[in-house]
Amino acid sequence: MSISEQATGAFCYNDPTNPLCETVSGFYNYDISLPANALFVGIFGLSLLGFIGTYGATRRGLGFTLAMVAGVILEVLGYVGRLMSQKNRWDENGFLMQICCLTIAPAFLAAGIYLCLRRIVYAFGPENSRIAPETYTRFFIPCDVVSLVLQAAGGAMASIASHNDDKSGLETGDNIMIAGLAFQVVTLLIFIVVTADFGLNVLRRHRKLGAAALEQSETARQVRGSFRFRGLLVALAVATICIFWRSVFRVAELSEGWNGPLTKRQDFFIGFEGVMIAVACLVLNVFHPSVCFSSMMDGAGGLRSKKKTKGEKGESGKGESSSDADGMTV
């Protein structure tokens, strides 16, 4: 940015309603939509209350709740930043706030989804999985952390460089942030593949062995037969696809730079960023794991559980391990 551009931007920052600033570009390539962004603040605010309220009522799924709450809070802050920019598109604070918060928020939401998988494996039977149930969490959560660290570090570097007018640092920060997003896309893709493989393996073994292919405890049978559990499976699939699609869009958007064609399309941002993440959060509010298979929340599959005990392979209440009643996470 030249000295004259900086002076013009400073003038418009202090007097954003001045008619002379109508043709002066700010941090965005379009005028921020007040109704759309205010709507997202409301949606994510309600979603936040939903996740907190569900945990308060059930006292189950703490890990899932923490991940979702962290992600939704960042979504709220991100859209508040966009509303700040709507009032003044030369406000650097609002711009950096929305970039950092909205970029990393879905990583927390993805972590919540990853935590659900091994409990689902226990509901159908670990014998149907090619890998141990605990391996899912041990692989995907660290991958999610790597993605989050890269995005956060890249965003911070880009923010500092932008403030100091350091083009080289800005480019480096952008590349690190894009690398984090790309890593998230790859992780989600692997998650989709292994989840689909598990599902297909369940169907294949069920056709061959019948009910014997599935976990035989009374609790597991009741959970699998409930509408809420089936709804949860659909909700997790929808949420995963939405976060995956959003991440692919952000990689494509940011890879073309801050002045690329995709950054000039607010409709794309609203549809592929805002709507996708809002759908992911809302479906998990409606089909919350702590409600949809609450009877299995205190058994095998929690963060502290290692494997099923011999008693858990039996019937009814005998299958629950009192030593693993962590109630911590899905």
Q: Give the number of other Cβ atoms within 10 Å of residue 267's Cβ.
A: 10
Report the percent of the chain where pLDDT is more than 90: 52
Of 266, 263, 287, nearest in space to 275 by CA: 266
- Predicted local distance difference test score (pLDDT) of residue 259: 77
Q: Where are the domains of the chain?
A: 32-298
Token couple for 119:
């409990």
**What's the mean pLDDT in 198-207?**
93
- Predicted local distance difference test score (pLDDT) of residue 9: 62
**What's the mean pLDDT in 6-13?**
63
Q: Which of 46-50, 291-295, 320-324 has the highest mean pLDDT?
A: 46-50
pLDDT, the chain, mean: 84
**What's the mean pLDDT in 17-21?**
71
**What's the mean pLDDT in 209-233?**
89
* Reported confidence tier of residue 271, pLDDT bands at 50, 70, 90: very high
pLDDT top residue among 325 and 47: 47
pLDDT of 255 > 90? The answer is: no
Tell me which of 48-52, 67-71, 110-114, 314-318 is least confident: 314-318
Q: What is the pLDDT of residues 296-315, one digit of tens each?
A: 765 444 433 444 444 444 44
Domain 32-298 classification at class level: mainly alpha
**What's the mean pLDDT in 41-57?**
96
- Predicted local distance difference test score (pLDDT) of residue 256: 81
pLDDT of 40 > 60? The answer is: yes
- Predicted local distance difference test score (pLDDT) of residue 315: 41
- What are the b/e assignments for 72-108, b being 16+ CB within 10 Å? bbbbbbbbbbbbbbbebbbbbebbbbbbbbbbbbbbb
pTM value? 0.85
* Reported confidence tier of residue 171, pLDDT bands at 50, 70, 90: confident
- Predicted local distance difference test score (pLDDT) of residue 323: 32
Task: List for the chain the helix, strand, coil content (%; round to 5).
Answer: 80, 0, 20
Q: Which of 19-28, 140-149, 316-325 has the highest mean pLDDT?
A: 140-149
CA distance 253 to 263: 6
- 10 Å CB burial of residue 29 (0-12, 13-18, 19+) is middle
- Predicted local distance difference test score (pLDDT) of residue 308: 46
Query: CA of 243: how far to CAs of 113, 169, 315, 318, in Å?
Result: 10, 28, 38, 39
Of 300, 322, 328, nearest in space to 133 by CA: 300
One-letter amino acid at 181 equals L
CA distance 168 to 244: 30
pLDDT of 320 > 50? The answer is: no
Token couple for 255:
């890879």
- Predicted local distance difference test score (pLDDT) of residue 12: 74
- Predicted local distance difference test score (pLDDT) of residue 8: 61
